[in-house]
Amino acid sequence: MSSNHKIEDSLREAIISQPDVILDDNDVMQALIAANERAMGGNIVDLRGIAMDRLETRLDRLEDTHRSVIAAAYENLAGTNQIHRAILRMLDPLEFETFLRDLGGDVAQIMRVDVVKLVLESAQSDNDPTIKRLGDVLSVADPGFIDDYLTSGRGGNVRQVTLRGVQDSPASVYGDKAEWIRSEACLKLDFGNGRLPGLLILGSEDPHMFGPQQGTDLLGFFTGVFERIMRRWLS
């Protein structure tokens, strides 16, 4: 192949002295391959070029997957650290009332949610002064309320962790913040034999904060720790 166009001596020497610069530049290599295909004419099939295109496509997919895996790993690590910080904060209080206030304060901030609500089922009246003082965090419901809330009244199996979007949040749970809540994580609590269950609800104004497509392993661990802390207070 001949050409009347000559490369300047300085550019030619630079290429010869540093060929890796050309090989490492994707745009330059693509231009050289395209020029080579045009020079060969339309009647010749460049199998090597086709193979290279396919390899480049596979490499791009692998790089995208690699980036996604790394991003997921960082997100999982951040989530783990977040759960650990919230658990450590819950272990600090020496009084139950302080523990409950921290749920709606520091713990909510660490978990990056707008509302934390603890619902306890009880056959007794909710006229306890403590419940009235901590109404923003603690509420008492009739037996059966929790399963009914988690299944939206349809019955069926209830999971330990339920993540979902919400449209019409009940004021009985969220109070005056009900109209702003768009997603929630519902953690069903088992306090042991002979005790009615509880429910810890994390509510968010972000509709994408919680959803059924998300993993529940970390929140499952958080639920287990929370149950054990509550058993200590209830004993």
Q: Tally Cβ neighbours within 10 Å of residue 161.
A: 19
Mean pLDDT of the chain: 83
For CATH 3.30.450.40, list the domain ranges present in the chain.
68-234
Strands of the chain, DSSP E: 115-121, 138-141, 161-165, 183-189, 198-204
Q: Quick check: 186 and 201 in contact, CB under 8 A?
A: yes
Average pLDDT over residues 118-136: 72
Distances (CA, A) of 42 to 9, 37, 99: 32, 8, 77
CA angle, 186 then 168 then 214, to 5°: 40
Question: What is the predicted pLDDT for the residue at 114?
Answer: 93
Cβ burial of 202 (10 Å; 0-12, 13-18, 19+) is buried
Mean pLDDT confidence for 135-151: 88
User: pTM to 2 decimals?
Assistant: 0.68
Confidence category of residue 164, pLDDT binned at 50, 70, 90: very high
Q: According to the model, what pLDDT value does residue 233 have?
A: 84
Above 60 in pLDDT, residue 4? no
- Per-residue model confidence as pLDDT tens digits over 49-89: 667 777 878 887 888 787 777 776 777 778 888 999 999 99
What's residue 40's pLDDT?
65
Q: In the prediction, which pLDDT does 176 show?
A: 83
Distance from chain centroid for Cα 19: 45
The whole-number pLDDT of residue 43 equals: 59
pLDDT of residue 1: 43
36-58 burial: b if 16+ Cβ within 10 Å, else e = eeeeeeeeeeeeeeeeeeeeeee
Q: Residue 45: pLDDT above 90? A: no
CATH architecture group of domain 68-234: 2-Layer Sandwich (3.30)
pLDDT at 139 over 70: yes
